[in-house]
Amino acid sequence: MSEETLPSERDAHAGELAENPFADPGLPPHQPRRQDIDEKAARSSERTVALLFTLSMLATVAFIASYVIFPVDQNVYIWPIGWISALNFSLGMTLGVALFAIGAGAVHWARTLMSDVEMPAERHPIEAEPEVKAQVLADFGDGARESQLGRRKLIRNTMFGALALVPLSGVVLLRDLGPLPEDKLRHTLWAKGKLLINQNTNKPLRPEDVQIGSLTFAVPEGLEQEQEDYQEQIAKAALMIVRIAPENIKDKQAREWAHQGILAYSKICTHVGCPISLYEQQTHHVLCPCHQSTFDLSDGARVIFGPAGHALPQLRISVNDEGYLEALGDFAEPVGPSFWERG
Amino acid sequence: MATTTESAGAKPRGKAPAGERVADWADGRLGLYSLAKANMRKIFPDHWSFMLGEICLYSFIIVILTGVYLTLFFHPSMSEVTYDGVYAPLQGIKMSDAYASTLHISFDVRGGLLMRQIHHWAALVFVAGMFVHMFRVFFTGAFRKPREINYLFGFLLLFLGFFDGFLGYSLPDDLLSGTGIRFMEGAVLSVPIVGTYISFFLFGGEFPGHDIVPRFYTIHVLLIPGIMLGLLVAHLILVFYHKHTQFAGPGKTNKNVVGMPLLPVYMAKAGGFFFLVFGVIAAISALVSVNPVWSYGPYRPDQVSTDAQPDWYMGFAEGLIRVMPGWEINAWGHTLQLGVFIPLTVFPLVMAFMGAWPFIESWATGDKREHHLLDRPRNKPVRTGIGAAWIALYCVLLLGGGNDIFATRFHMSINAITWFVRIGMFVIPVIVFIVTKRWCLGLQRRDRDKVLHGRETGIIKRLPHGEFIEIHEPLPQGVLHTLTAHEQPAPLEIGPTVDKNGVERKPGRITKLRTKLSQGLYGEGTQIPKPDVEEFKEIQSGHGHH
């Protein structure tokens, strides 16, 4: 159905020039360049090319010299960039010139001295001639018949079965890439009685350490940077602590889970897990710097803007007998980004 | 004895030149002469836009050369070490061996920083080059039969280039790249049913674990580059086999290819161009810092820097993620995080549209002929409009990906920018499509005008009765041909719903869709009829000066 709607090949261009003003006049005659007719100009081009190649050689020598001369930690002032590594600058520039000059020489040579006569070459259809196609089909038929694959169904079916099953071994081997998730994403290091350790001072926090308008980061007591799974634990347990006057906390449960207005929320964004670090003192909004999800800490850390799907989990805290802030248990819900089993 | 005389008689006296003897040796084993006969003087047409693919090829080679150098010094290990190198601000700080060895390359190995810079810059140029190259091919219709498969190879190279770039800048295990990996974990977790399992298998347990850098390393330096190398070789073989496309012009038809031979002109130009590309990238790497990992510090899951941005080619995916509303469905004890999962699926779909376009177009047009002459973008207004709309969508999302940067640099509200992108990603591509299409039609009218009435000379003539006219000069034959060489296919029609025997024939849904697409591409308002010979002759013979 398509053949009629498509224009026939070269419809507008059939016929002689006399009757068709749009016909193809054919390749225009070659226009000689200056270098083709003036040997002086050609020699000048030759000198330019040779000069570029010589420049490249000099630049390579300069590259080696820079490598030897400049100490790796020396900085130089280059206007308008400023202070940069002398070695990086000199190596890069000399290498750049050495390479660029070769390219410029070759291109100049090709453009001015090599023949620029345009030549046509015939194209041939990609599709095979009908005879070739017939021959190939016949050959394939012979081969297929001789293999008896079509006739002996038992062989065919078992072969397909075997070939389909054998890659399973490879898939099975991937099993030990990692452990099963189980409930690992549901638990953090926080537990009843764990003290809140200030991340900056490494000391347990007291309520009076947390002022209104400040943002404090805390980790659970006992988490040491030396331990093997420090990164995995901090990725879940990181905590941010703010203080809001209790009457300004809009969410009732948040107020109860806080201690005298001191609120402890997971620092890990519920969108895709970036640590939240921007706090607006006046509004008590926190902003994730990665994708700008914004949470209102005065209202149960609910999402007020951005791509996060749910509020930041809150850690229930209190004060122990010695006057230090402590957790009353683990987070009630999984921290960080959502996952299928989260529920 | 007889054999000696015979062989001596068959060949000329004395030994052949050394080069010829080497070639003879190779020919006896590789069939060199037959190969050279077909290719040595192969004709390559010349057009500036044909060098875009070369930029990709050369930057890929540069990436491989510098990448091999970097592997000699980089330790793909997440074992914790205490830094004691020359970079004072980080001395005594605990970090992974991967990060420490990246610092070592940057500060202790002479030229190591330059190799890192060239590697990264060349990778950025590689992806950018592939983008521009793909759109050159798209806008000129170079993807049409017989080149659809080669277009697909190129598209896969672009897609793999994206991912290998992401994996590459994740390796140093600095604060920025670790944040990128954390984002990837969150994205994987959003996949329904299997997401949590994939994440645990990928990271060898909980995020971040100790496996991700060595695993990424193998994929980055071996698996993906290996596939890309195979695709690249296939891409180049097909370019040779199909021969290059060319624009229509005097002497340039669908049945020939006009240009200059591989040896010497194209070899010198293309070979030289490799050095030009390498030279420019080396100079950029000497002057402009890229990914200064030492200023970010080692990765810690509880720390982050502001202005965290992926490399530019991921900015589009980043935009999708940032502007998506936080939809989350909780039901039957499961969570579906659409806010992350939808962008994760839309990103490959938007990409795949570009990959699938040759097949969509050939299906809609029913065109099964070989095309070796390129379209001027103006002569295919709908296709050009669609390409421009795609680029517009990309740019709007890129803006969304950098919403924090725009907000802080230009003192704008981040919420306003986000809302602009949310609406703009649907509206702006449509506007761009309409504008581009009209623009193309305007250019077609201009061409038609030039063909029929000639070129404005700027010479004003006063006629005997006082009227002033501008003299129009008829175009030369070659230009007339070039401006009228394009085809103007008619769209498919549904056809009569009753066949010639009077039996009712109901067109199926597929036929209807196909007709609709074809009407959209070639139907009413999509092309300005090009001048025909009668029209031209009448105007020329009558009042040629108008």
Q: What is the dihedral of CA A194, A199, A202, A207, to 10 degrees?
A: -60
Residues A340, B333: Cα–Cα separation, whole Å? 9
The per-residue pLDDT for range B195-246, each reduced to its tens digit, is 999 999 999 999 999 999 999 999 999 999 999 999 999 999 999 999 999 9
Predicted local confidence at residue B541, as pLDDT: 77
Residues A51, B537: Cα–Cα separation, whole Å? 56
In contact, B229 and B155? CB cutoff 8 Å:
no
Predicted local confidence at residue A8, as pLDDT: 54
Q: Do A1 and B492 touch (CB under 8 A)?
A: yes
- Domain membership of residue B188 (yes or no) is yes
- Tell whether B195 and B100 lie within a shared domain: yes
Q: What percentage of chain B exceeds 70 in pLDDT?
A: 97
Predicted local confidence at residue A19, as pLDDT: 75
Predicted local confidence at residue B219, as pLDDT: 96
Residue type present at position A138:
A
In this predicted model, which residue has the larger pLDDT, B277 or A214?
B277
Which residues from chain B sit within 8 angstroms of residue A14, using beta carbons? Answer: none
In contact, B141 and B285? CB cutoff 8 Å:
no
Q: Do A340 and B336 touch (CB under 8 A)?
A: yes
Establish how many alpha carbons lie within 13 A of residue A26's alpha carbon, considering only the half-sphere containing its beta carbon.
4
CA distance A155 to chain B (A): 34
- Tell whether B312 and B430 lie within a shared domain: no
**Is B173 strand, coil or helix?**
coil
Whether the pLDDT of residue B467 is over 50: the answer is yes
Whether the pLDDT of residue A139 is over 80: the answer is yes
- Tell whether B100 and B230 lie within a shared domain: yes
Residue found under tokens 């030396």: A226
The backbone region for B166, taken as left when phi is positive above 0, alpha when psi lies in -120 to 50, beta otherwise, is alpha
* Closest residue in A to B43 (Cα–Cα): A121
> What is the pLDDT of chain A when averaged over all its residues?
89
- Domain membership of residue B11 (yes or no) is no
* Closest residue in B to A25 (Cα–Cα): B250
Residues A73, A80: Cα–Cα separation, whole Å? 20
Residue type present at position B541:
S
Q: Looking at the complex, does the CB of residue A223 fall below 8 Å from at least one CB of chain B? A: no
- Domain membership of residue B520 (yes or no) is yes
Least confident of A146-150, A290-294, B146-150, B533-537: B533-537
Among B306, B322, B338, the domain boundary falls at B322
Whether the pLDDT of residue B48 is over 70: the answer is yes
8-state DSSP, A195? B
* Section B171-195 average pLDDT: 92
In contact, A328 and A317? CB cutoff 8 Å:
yes
Among A72, A115, A177, select the one facing B201 at the smallest CB separation. A177
**Is A213 strand, coil or helix?**
coil
- Tell whether B296 and B430 lie within a shared domain: no
Residue found under tokens 């596939």: B227
Which residues from chain A sit within 8 angstroms of residue B328, using beta carbons? Answer: 309-310, 338
Which residues from chain A sit within 8 angstroms of residue B366, using beta carbons? Answer: 1-3, 5-6
Q: Looking at the complex, does the CB of residue B31 fall below 8 Å from at least one CB of chain A? A: no
- Domain membership of residue B72 (yes or no) is yes
Which residues from chain A sit within 8 angstroms of residue B309, using beta carbons? Answer: none
Predicted local confidence at residue B307, as pLDDT: 75
Which residues fall within 8 angstroms of residue B210, CB to CB, at 6 or more apart? Answer: B78, B79, B204
Q: Looking at the complex, does the CB of residue B499 fall below 8 Å from at least one CB of chain A? A: no
- Domain membership of residue B10 (yes or no) is no
In contact, B279 and A96? CB cutoff 8 Å:
yes
Give the pLDDT band of residue B540 (cuts 50, 70, 90).
confident
Least confident of A296-310, B97-111, B378-392: A296-310
Strands A278-280 and A75-78 turn out to be: unpaired
* Section B501-527 average pLDDT: 84
Residues 366-395 of B with CB under 8 A from A: 366-370, 372
Whether the pLDDT of residue B131 is over 50: the answer is yes
Residues 137-166 of A with CB under 8 A from B: none
Q: Do A185 and B302 touch (CB under 8 A)?
A: no
User: What does the block give as tokens for B349?
Assistant: 């779909």
Residues A255, A248: Cα–Cα separation, whole Å? 9
User: What does the block give as tokens for B356?
Assistant: 């699938």
Give the pLDDT band of residue B62 (cuts 50, 70, 90).
very high
8-state DSSP, B544? T
Predicted local confidence at residue B264, as pLDDT: 92
8-state DSSP, B236? H
Which residues from chain A sit within 8 angstroms of residue B179, using beta carbons? Answer: 274, 290
Predicted local confidence at residue B201, as pLDDT: 95
Among B133, B388, B451, smallest CA distance to A12 is for B451
Among B204, B372, B404, select the one facing A177 at the smallest CB separation. B204
β strands within B72-150, DSSP E? 80-82, 94-96
Among B293, B97, B26, smallest CA distance to B180 is for B293
Among B201, B252, B540, select the one facing A174 at the smallest CB separation. B201
Residues 291-320 of B with CB under 8 A from A: 300-308
In contact, A214 and A243? CB cutoff 8 Å:
yes
Whether the pLDDT of residue B508 is over 90: the answer is no
In contact, A85 and A74? CB cutoff 8 Å:
yes
Residues B190, B188: Cα–Cα separation, whole Å? 5
Tell me the range of B49-53, B301-305, B331-335 where mean pLDDT is highest. Answer: B49-53
User: How many whole angstroms from its chain centre is CA B374?
Assistant: 18
- Domain membership of residue B463 (yes or no) is yes
Element (H, E) at B340: helix B338-365
Q: How many domains does chain B have?
A: 2
- Tell whether B278 and B387 lie within a shared domain: no
CA distance B1 to chain A (A): 47
Tally of helices (H runs) and strands (E runs) in chain A: 8, 14
User: How many whole angstroms from its chain centre is CA A280?
Assistant: 30
Among B190, B199, B207, select the one facing A338 at the smallest CB separation. B190
Residues A96, B286: Cα–Cα separation, whole Å? 8
Among B322, B353, B385, the domain boundary falls at B322
CA distance A302 to chain B (A): 12
Q: Do B536 and A21 touch (CB under 8 A)?
A: yes
Whether the pLDDT of residue A15 is over 90: the answer is no
Which residues fall within 8 angstroms of residue B55, CB to CB, at 6 or more apart? Answer: B125, B129, B133, B277
- Tell whether B399 and B530 lie within a shared domain: yes
Among B358, B370, B374, B375, smallest CA distance to B45 is for B374
> Residue B310: which CATH number?
1.20.810.10
Q: What are phi and psi of B429, to 5 degrees?
A: -60, -35
Predicted local confidence at residue A1, as pLDDT: 40
Element (H, E) at B215: helix B212-218
- Tell whether B402 and B271 lie within a shared domain: no
- The answer to whether the bond into B348 is cis (omega within 30° of 0) is no
In contact, A181 and B195? CB cutoff 8 Å:
no
Residue type present at position B356:
A
- Tell whether B52 and B139 lie within a shared domain: yes
- Tell whether B384 and B317 lie within a shared domain: no
Strands B80-82 and B329-331 turn out to be: unpaired
* Section B505-513 average pLDDT: 82
Q: Do B186 and A306 touch (CB under 8 A)?
A: no
Q: From the candidates A4, A6, A240, which should be mutated to test the interface with B, based on the most B CB atoms within 10 A? A: A6
Q: Do B339 and A103 touch (CB under 8 A)?
A: no
- Tell whether B231 and B303 lie within a shared domain: yes
**Is B237 strand, coil or helix?**
helix
The per-residue pLDDT for range A97-129, each reduced to its tens digit, is 999 999 999 999 999 999 999 999 999 999 999
Helices B403-410 & B414-453 angle (0-180, nearest 10)? 100
Q: Do B326 and A308 touch (CB under 8 A)?
A: yes
Q: From the candidates B337, B408, B493, which should be mutated to test the interface with A, based on the most A CB atoms within 10 A? A: B337
Among B278, B299, B322, the domain boundary falls at B322
**For residue A157, how many other CB atoms are within 10 A of its CB?**
10
Q: What percentage of chain A exceeds 70 in pLDDT?
A: 95
Residue-wise DSSP of B496-509: -SB-TTS-B-PPPH
User: How many whole angstroms from its chain centre is CA B44?
Assistant: 21
* Closest residue in A to B331 (Cα–Cα): A343
Among B192, B480, B485, select the one facing A340 at the smallest CB separation. B192
- Tell whether B47 and B189 lie within a shared domain: yes
In this predicted model, which residue has the larger pLDDT, A167 or A199?
A167
Least confident of A33-47, A212-226, B58-72: A212-226
β strands within A141-274, DSSP E? 196-198, 216-220, 239-243, 262-266
- Domain membership of residue B332 (yes or no) is no
Whether the pLDDT of residue A201 is over 50: the answer is yes
User: HEC string of B45-82?
Assistant: CCCHHHHHHHHHHHHHHHHHHHHHHHHCCCCCCCCEEE
Among B114, B484, B492, select the one facing A12 at the smallest CB separation. B484
- Domain membership of residue B368 (yes or no) is no
Among A339, A308, A310, smallest CA distance to B323 is for A308
User: What does the block give as tokens for A104?
Assistant: 């410029």
Among A109, A306, A341, select the one facing B196 at the smallest CB separation. A341
8-state DSSP, B11? S
Q: Which residues of B383-416 are buried (b: 16+ CB within 10 A; e: fewer)?
A: bbbbbbbbbbbbbbbbbbbbbbebbeeeeeebee
Least confident of B134-138, B257-261, B314-318: B314-318
CA distance B121 to chain A (A): 12
In contact, B237 and B166? CB cutoff 8 Å:
no
Residue-wise DSSP of A246-307: GGG---HHHHHHSBTTEEEEESB-TTT-PBP-EEETTTTEEE-TTT--EEEGGGTTEEEESS
Least confident of A57-66, B136-145, B298-307: B298-307
User: How many whole angstroms from its chain centre is CA B154?
Assistant: 7
Tally of helices (H runs) and strands (E runs) in chain B: 20, 10
* Closest residue in A to B185 (Cα–Cα): A272
Q: Do A111 and B269 touch (CB under 8 A)?
A: yes
Predicted local confidence at residue B3, as pLDDT: 44
- Tell whether B540 and B417 lie within a shared domain: yes
Residues A194, A325: Cα–Cα separation, whole Å? 9
Whether the pLDDT of residue B332 is over 70: the answer is yes
Q: Do A92 and B336 touch (CB under 8 A)?
A: no
Q: Which domain holds residue B482?
A: 376-494+505-546
